[in-house]
Chains A and B, each alone.
Chain A
């Protein structure tokens, strides 16, 4: 069974920083391992829709970000630990959301989802 477990969410003041982690398990099947998967971060503000945030290649060699977080967020991964990270800085009130870690999937889509971790930016 594939499991993605996010952690690191919490309450932070505007302008602060936070690092989210996502540990994956159960991805070793069909000849694939964690390092074969793109990994994405998607967020959802309270009562709002899904917003794509970031993607990182399986080997970590390329990253991309939504315009709303570009220059403030970075993404990285440690394939030896089956873990992906989202480093968030210069946080704004509008970054308040549940952040989901998601695997990439064939056809430029999303596959397996974590349960999410809540980030609240407030003074």
Chain B
């Protein structure tokens, strides 16, 4: 079964730029996988950041952007802030009415 892969953890300095990636254990991620990104802080429900590779959800700051980089989907945070410290999950549409999340990336801002 194809798995969705993410970096387990990442660290960024305040004001810095970080790119989190979302790949497939077999094959490349493309727009037709409809990559989306979700942010979750401890004890809270997730929040939708990005859908359809690069479209920001309403209210999401412009410092969050989505793209395809090489064979992976990517979430870039430009000018990271302390409250961006969260878990970030990507999700891909696998076709036939099935979706799969990646394992999540724990982002530390320090």
Q: Is the CB of B48 within 8 A of A110?
A: yes
Using known A-B contacts A55-B97, A55-B99, A115-B45, determine if residue A109 contacts B104 with beta carbons closer than 8 Å: no
Interface size class, chain B:
20 to 34
Q: Is the CB of A64 within 8 A of B98?
A: yes
Q: Is the CB of A109 within 8 A of B89?
A: no
Complex: how many Å from CA A63 to CA B98?
Answer: 10
Complex: how many Å from CA A114 to CA B51?
Answer: 18
Using known A-B contacts A49-B104, A50-B38, A52-B91, determine if residue A108 contacts B99 with beta carbons closer than 8 Å: yes
Complex: how many Å from CA A50 to CA B40?
Answer: 10
Interface flag for B28 (CB, 8 Å): no
Q: Is the CB of A110 within 8 A of B98?
A: no
B64-102 residues at the A interface, CB under 8 angstroms: 87, 89, 91, 93, 96-102
Interface flag for B57 (CB, 8 Å): yes
Residues of B within 8 A of A (CB): 1, 34, 36, 38, 40, 45-48, 51-53, 55, 57, 87, 89, 91, 93, 96-104
Q: Could you list 24 examples of A-B contacts with CB < 8 Å?
A: A49-B87, A49-B89, A50-B91, A50-B104, A51-B101, A52-B91, A52-B99, A52-B100, A55-B99, A64-B97, A67-B1, A105-B51, A105-B57, A106-B51, A107-B51, A108-B34, A109-B36, A109-B51, A110-B36, A110-B48, A110-B91, A111-B48, A112-B48, A113-B48
